[in-house]
């Protein structure tokens, strides 16, 4: 088990986890890991190799022939697929449409969980966000956070993000997409989306982005103080 100081942030789509985790990590002087970006990169790999998102064994085999590298020289860090910067490509609709199915396969998840634990071995202070970080990957993390928001708020935020990228969207369609992805992430047998035990719960529905980050920073600093660990220290 890693001796790194780990803060996990889990929650459903559209709660603003990645953006909040990136700013929180910067404030605390921690590194940040976006595990959704890792699964998105696997989905891109499947798309590019022409592998069905339903075929976990073939995707896992393709993964074994490829390199997924988290590049911490960029802030926030990006994932490289065989050396290629794919951080914009993995946000495209075709990737988003299949990522939940790709992420449901045991063979894929085991490889990602292992890769995430490897990252923690070389990053002594890590904010990591996803769906299973506080439940499966780092259940002993010193701080576990569950970020949530009402579905309509999450859909509205995601639609605004897409519009900001110049993509025309309809809120109702985005809401359906988010609801489907959540149901799939919650319903899978392997590493399902669920609230970690002992997690600090933050409902972001009626909070601004700045308020969310402030709340998270307070939670982490108070938890570390209670555990008698400074931001520069190591967990036992």
* Residues near ligand DC (CB under 6 A): 13, 35-36, 39-40, 99-100, 103, 130-133, 181, 185
Output 87 or 224, the one with its CB closest to ligand DC.
Answer: 87
Output 134 or 200, the one with its CB closest to ligand DC.
Answer: 134
In terms of DSSP bridges, do strands 84-85 and 78-81 run parallel, antiparallel, or are they unpaired?
antiparallel
Q: Which residue has the tokens 């202070």?
A: 125
Output 175 or 224, the one with its CB closest to ligand DC.
Answer: 175
Q: How far is the CB of 99 from ligand DC (least distance, A)?
A: 4
Which residues, at least 6 apart from 42, have a Cβ–Cβ distance to it below 8 Å? 59, 63, 68, 99, 102, 103, 108, 112
Output 160 or 222, the one with its CB closest to ligand DC.
Answer: 160
- CA 33 to chain centroid, in Å, comes to 7
Write down the H helix ranges in the chain: 17-28, 35-49, 56-64, 93-102, 106-122, 151-164, 171-187, 209-226
Q: How far is the CB of 13 from ligand DC (least distance, A)?
A: 5
What's the CA gap between 211 and 137, in Å, rounded? 28
Q: How far is the CB of 226 from ligand DC (least distance, A)?
A: 26
Q: How far is the CB of 128 from ligand DC (least distance, A)?
A: 8
């Amino acid at each position: 088990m890693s001796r790194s100081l780990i803060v996990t942030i889990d929650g459903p789509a559209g709660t603003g986890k990645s953006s909040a985790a990136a700013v929180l990590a910067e404030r605390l002087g921690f590194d940040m890991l976006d595990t959704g970006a890792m699964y998105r990169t696997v989905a891109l790999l499947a798309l590019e190799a022409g592998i069905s998102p339903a075929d976990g064994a073939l995707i896992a085999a393709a993964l074994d022939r490829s390199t997924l590298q988290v590049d911490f020289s960029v802030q926030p860090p990006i994932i490289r697929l065989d050396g290629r910067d794919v951080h914009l490509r993995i946000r495209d609709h075709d990737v988003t449409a299949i990522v939940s199915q790709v992420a449901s396969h045991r063979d894929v998840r085991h490889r990602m969980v292992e890769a995430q634990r490897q990252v923690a071995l070389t990053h002594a202070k890590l904010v990591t966000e996803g769906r299973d970080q506080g439940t499966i990957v780092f259940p002993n993390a010193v701080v576990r956070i569950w970020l949530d928001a009402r579905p309509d708020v999450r859909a509205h935020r995601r639609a605004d993000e897409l519009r900001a990228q110049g993509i025309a969207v309809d809120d109702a369609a985005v809401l359906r997409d988010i609801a489907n992805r959540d149901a799939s992430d919650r319903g899978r047998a392997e590493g399902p989306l669920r609230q970690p035990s002992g997690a600090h719960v933050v409902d972001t529905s009626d909070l601004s982005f700045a308020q969310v980050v402030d709340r998270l920073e307070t939670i982490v600093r108070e938890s570390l103080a209670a555990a008698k660990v400074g931001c520069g220290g190591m967990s036992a």
